Amino acid sequence: MHTAVIISTYNSPHALRQTLLGFLLQTHTNFEILVADDGSDGSTAAVLDEETFSPLNLRHVWHEDRGFRLSAIRNRAIAQTSADYIIFSDGDCVPREDFVASHLRECRPGYFIAGGRVNIPEAIHSRWTDHDILSRRVFDPHFLGQSAPHLGKMGRRLRPQPAGLRRLWDLFTYRHCVFSGSNASAWRGDLERVNGFDEGFAGYGSEDRDIGIRLRNAGLRSRYLKYSLVQLHLDHTQSYYDPAIQAANRKRFRTRRRDRTVRIRCGLDGVLDRT
């Protein structure tokens, strides 16, 4: 099955580099990566050009920096792949070695799936070396617990588990599943059915939850797999957070949920028409 991973980023080359190191370790290797770049400067392209990442099937999808336009660049990345199944992540999330394999193992027709993430404070991940990631130490609770005791107690989430335990813990930690752009996946045909991400969302907030609710409005079901789909979030300050924009986006999202909207006007088809 042709699989693509779309990784969103904006002017965070160090975090993106750590993220890509994690993708070098994947047990399933037959996938392409499209880095959906919301207008970064040349430092992002420099990371992608490193010889270190030559084993990865990488493509850089970029548009001009005209403010926060995450939906638009994700749509552009979708348009530039013919993948049957698409996994979404962020350029500040280091995937566990079974991340891609687990998304593919758990995918089902008629569903989208999403996972969680373990937040790693900046004071910790800023000290990580390439070796820490490539040796998989960053998923070792004993290693993390030396800097943050609460992380040392998260062995169930950090380490791959036997199938029976993993399914049991996923079941017992069930929650309403929202589409999280940092850790979710869906079939291409379903994304096209709802016309992708809504480019009418201005600024940060709710654009990924919006596509999730429209997928459900279209008849899809969802699964939240906390222990199967695991990544480390490299926590950081959010300079792009604007309370007024957040409130407007939440209102837009609630309208979609109330009206049971499926397909939006300003979305993926506008990009497909230009490719």
Residue-level pLDDT at 259:
80
- 107, 123, 192 from 187: Cα distances, Å: 9, 37, 9
Both structure tokens of 264:
């939006």
Rounded to 5 degrees, what are φ and ψ at 225? -125, 80
Residue-level pLDDT at 109:
97
Long-range contacts of 145-150 (CB under 8 A, 24+ apart): 147/123, 148/121, 148/124
Q: What is the chain's mean pLDDT, rounded?
A: 90
- 20, 40, 117, 148, 219 from 215: Cα distances, Å: 29, 30, 22, 38, 7
Residue-level pLDDT at 23:
99
Give the model confidence (pLDDT) of 86-140 as tens digits: 999 999 999 999 999 999 999 999 999 999 889 999 999 999 999 999 999 999 9
All domains of the chain in start order, with CATH:
3-272 (3.90.550.10)
Long-range contacts of 142-149 (CB under 8 A, 24+ apart): 144/120, 147/123, 148/121, 148/124
Residue-level pLDDT at 153:
75
Q: Which residues partner with 35 through β-bridges? A: 7, 60
Residue-level pLDDT at 240:
60
65 by Cβ neighbours in 10 Å (0-12 / 13-18 / 19+) ranks as middle
Can you list the residues of the chain whose pLDDT is less than 70? 174-176, 205, 237-241, 273-275
Residue-level pLDDT at 275:
59
Q: Which residues contact 270 (CB under 8 A, 6 or more apart)?
A: 75, 199
Residue-level pLDDT at 201:
77
Residue-level pLDDT at 273:
64
User: What angle do helix axes 13-24 and 99-106 make, rounded to 10 degrees?
Assistant: 70
Residue-level pLDDT at 154:
81
Residue-level pLDDT at 24:
99
Confidence (pTM): 0.94
Residue-level pLDDT at 31:
99
- 45, 126, 149, 264 from 42: Cα distances, Å: 5, 21, 38, 33
